[in-house]
Every structure is written in C-alpha cells, then in structure tokens.
Amino acid sequence: MPDISETLLPRLRARTLPGLALPPGMIVPDYGGGTVANLASQIAVWLGAGPLGGPPLYPELSAPLGDDVRRVVLLVVDAMGYPIFRHLLQEPGSVWQRLAGAGVLSPLVTVFPATTTAALTSLATGVPPGAHGMLGYEIWLREYGVTANMIAFSPMALDAEPGLLAQAGFDPGDTLNVPILPRHLEDHGAEAHAFLPSHLARSGLSRMHLSGAFVHAFHSASDLWPLVRDTLAHPGERRQLLWVYWPMVDTLSHAYGPASEPVELEVRALGRALEETFLDRLEPEMRAGTAFVLIADHGQVPTPPVPDFDLRRHPGFLDLLHIAPTGENRAAYLHCRPGKVDSARKYIEERWPGQFHVVSQESVLSSGLLGTTIDARTPSRLGDLLVLARGQAYLWWSPKDNRLLGRHGSLTPEEILVPFVAARLDRPF
C-alpha cells in the first residue's frame, strides 16, 4: 500500500488561513480531512457509525483499507512526532518500517494547539479545539474563576491534588458540548475499548474522552498487548474500536529532550513489544477485518534552559496582564489589562525579536486556526493575544523550577506534524 508522504506533505505545508500571516515554516491544520480530529470521524465511518463531528480523512488516506473493516486497533503514542517517526523508518527491519511498508504512510497535522488536552479531545469528538474548548494544559475557566490544570482538573496552584474542580461542580463527564466517539459508536451498534496506563484509567481526562468505553488498565507493555489480544480473541457480534494510549515518549521527551537517548530507547522498546507480543502472536481470526492505526497527538522540540524566558525576570511585563499567561509555554494566551494589549505585544517583539509571533484573538478566531465552530467558552479561555514560539523559544511563568528540556504547542513542523500509518492485519505485512 502507498507511502503518500511526498505528495501530501507539500500540500500540508502550503496551506494558509485567511487573515493569519505566519512566519515561514509554520504549518496550519486543515480540518477538512488532514488532521487528528478527522481520524475520529474516519474511525466512526469504518465501523459503520457514520461521520462524527466533522468530515473523515482525505480519501487517499482511508480508501486503501477498504470498506469491510470490523475492528480498529488505534495506537496513540504521545509526542511521537512525524520527524521522529521518519528517523525510525531508517532502521531496516524495524516494526515501524514493516507496518509502514504494508500500509498507508503519511504525515497528518494535529490540531492547534499541538498539545495532549486539545488533540486527544479532538480525537475523541471529531471537532477542532474551538468547538470543544479544551485549549491547552493551563486554561482560564471564567465560569469557575480559576486557572486550571486541564489534565489534573485542579487549580494550577494545587495541581498536585487531582480533581479538586469537582468541589466547584466541575464534572469531566459532562463538560464537553459535543458528542464523543465511544457513545457515538454505542448508539450505532458498535463498541469501544480503551487501554490506558493504570494511573490514568480513571482520571478526569479519561472520563471526559472515553465515557461509554470498556476501560482496561495496564501497568506496562508486558500486560498491555496480551490484554489487547484477548479482546480481539473474543470479538462478539459488534464492531470494535480498541483505543491504546502510550504516554512514555512524551514523559521522557519533556524530561530529557525529544532527541535524547532515553526517548530513542523507549520508542525502540515500544516497537519490540508491539511486534513480539502483539503483531506476531495474532491468530488468523484475530486479524480478520482488523485495521491497525498508528497516530500521535503532537511532537516536541528541544527547549534548552534560557533564563531570560522566565517571566519572573520580567515583572513589568506581568504587570500588563490580569493573570499569568495560560495555555502552553510555546503557545501562550495573554489576558491583558484594559488598554495594555499593544504594550504586551510590543514588549514581546522588542525583548525577544524573532523568537515569538504574536496573534490577536480576533485573528485566531476568524482565521479558522481553531476551526470554524466556536464554543461560547472559547474566547474567554483564549485571552487577548496568542504568543507562538519559534525555534526553541518558550515562555515560563510557573513558580516551580523550570526543568523541561522538551515542549510543544506551537505550529512548527516538529510539533504539528504527526505520523499516520494504517494497515490491514489480515493482509501480508
């Protein structure tokens, strides 16, 4: 089956959005078929449930799998960006090369911002972030009067204690204003299974995305793939989605940098486990009608420590804001004091020339960067200005020590491009 990277990548790179002038090299999403959000709709179509949220993937990405798919095994590798994956393909005989050679291989663009909370929510709903409102790791929730950690669902100042927003009435399972994929499949006679690390299996974010799915908690790759095999061995009558989430590439990339030895070793170990304990142990009846899809939610860029990016060194700049920045270190939202928007923009452009690109809220919303449907909560969460990092730049505003050597969120190819591999397991590979 085809490697369409060379034809699709120029198309993705050439895309522009009306009224949004960006620095050279930045890539914007095409929510008409070229993003992680469209994969949710495509999975629903494959499993006979009809589109969810928006259109499915471009036809050249989906058609080679045929129209008789009964089960989809979806492996989401957090932070395994497209450049990293292309590097893996240089290793002869690797499972990644084996899968890519047997299936459809292409880059996709993740959503904006290029971060887990936004991308996984789009993968679970089929809509861009503007429609679901999960706009980053840190979000100003006007309705609760707090800046919240949108993974822990707690105030940022207390994010070591997950779930504290529940005390204010926040219910992760009832927060999204759009349908989710597991419920959509259920309504159309299919079912979803979610395989999650044990510490995430009952988390607020998992409840938000995967309500209605059968949740299987695993501890490592050693018990993950036997759990997936066992589910395939007992398929029942309904079509199935098997959603597998692997977080460790992201964890190690933050800690050591995306090009580090620990990250490379982790990806290789994941590949060996996938091949030896899953792909090579499937019985013919497990393969029948089964498609395997590999995707990532975003990539990462190296971010060596730069003291001048720490906003605690810039009290005059912070005085221009109502609250500390929100969003992501590489895609920050500024909530400016009245009359201070131009001053905040000027400070960034003069203090760090060429390191950041500043966009107004109006341009973000009108251009379609977040999609064309905007939830009523999105503008207040977005703030007045968006600060997009270039190169290895970032803004740091937390009172905690700055220990991250890899980050994401912006529109650079390393962050926004992710691999898409789809192969039928009942065909030779």
Distance CA 321, CA 336 (A): 4
Residue 135: per-residue pLDDT:
98
- Cα first-last separation, the chain: 10
Please, are residues 176 and 418 in contact by the beta-carbon 8 Å criterion? no
For residue 236, count other CB atoms closer than 10 A to its CB: 8
Query: What is the C-alpha separation between 295 and 297, in angstroms, rounded?
Result: 7
Query: In the structure encoding, which two tokens stand for residue 304, read together?
Result: 């060596």
Q: Please, are residues 423 and 291 in contact by the beta-carbon 8 Å criterion?
A: yes
Residue 293, phi then psi, degrees to nearest 5: -125, 130
Q: Which two tokens stand for residue 129?
A: 């972030």
Please give the model's pTM, rounded to 2 decimal places: 0.97
Nearest-angstrom CA–CA distance, 127 and 121: 8
Q: What are phi and psi of 424, to 5 degrees?
A: -85, 125
For residue 136, what are its two tokens?
């980053």
* CB 124 within 8 Å of CB 175: no
Helix ranges (H only) for 204-247 are 204-210, 221-233
Cβ neighbours of residue 348 under 8 Å, at least 6 residues apart?
A: 317, 356, 358, 387
Q: Is 79 helix (H, G, I), strand (E, B) or coil?
A: coil
User: Can you read off the two tokens belonging to residue 241?
Assistant: 């989605």
Per the CB < 8 A criterion, the answer to whether 384 and 321 are in contact is no
- Per-residue confidence (pLDDT) for residue 278, from 0 to 100: 97
Q: Return the bridge partners of 291, or none.
A: 72, 424
3-state secondary structure 348-378: HHHHCCCCEEEEEHHHHHHHCCCCCCCCCCH
Q: 173 is written with which tokens? A: 């399972």
Residues 170-182: b if buried by 16+ CB within 10 A, e if exposed: bebeebbebebbb
Going residue by residue through the chain (429 aa), what tens digit of pLDDT does each one get?
578 999 999 999 999 999 999 999 999 999 999 999 999 999 999 999 999 999 999 999 999 999 899 999 999 999 999 998 998 888 888 898 888 888 899 999 999 999 999 999 999 999 999 999 999 999 999 999 999 999 999 999 898 888 899 888 888 888 899 999 999 999 999 999 999 999 999 898 999 999 999 999 999 999 999 999 999 998 888 999 999 999 999 999 999 999 999 999 999 999 999 999 999 999 999 999 999 999 999 999 999 999 999 999 999 999 999 999 999 999 999 999 999 999 999 999 999 999 999 999 999 999 999 999 999 999 999 999 999 999 999 999 999 999 999 999 999 999 999 999 999 999 987
**Cis peptide bond upstream of 113, omega within 30:** yes
Query: In whole angstroms, how far apart are CA 357 and each of 110, 331, 386?
Result: 20, 10, 8
Centroid of chain to Cα 371: 15
Ramachandran class of 407: left when φ > 0, alpha when ψ lies in -120 to 50, beta otherwise: beta
Residue 248 to residue 329: CA distance in whole angstroms? 20
- For residue 337, the 8-state DSSP code is P
Of 62, 49, 55, the C-alpha closest to 4 is: 62
* 428's tokens: 């030779």
| Amino acid letter, residue 128 | P
Q: What is the DSSP letter of 67?
A: S
Model pLDDT, residue 174: 84
Q: Give the start-to-end residue ranges of the domains of the chain.
A: 5-125+173-300+413-424, 307-407
Nearest to 83 by CA among 334, 237, 344, 259: 259
Sign of CA dihedral 179, 363, 302, 295: positive
Tell me the C-alpha to C-alpha distance, in Å, between residue 257 and each of 114, 211, 245, 394: 17, 33, 21, 14
Domain 5-125+173-300+413-424: give its CATH architecture. Answer: 3-Layer(aba) Sandwich (3.40)
CA distance 354 to 189: 53
Alpha carbons 235 and 58: distance in angstroms, whole number: 29
Q: How far apart are CA 209 and CA 172, in angstroms?
A: 9
pLDDT at 169: 87
CATH of domain 307-407: 3.30.1360.180
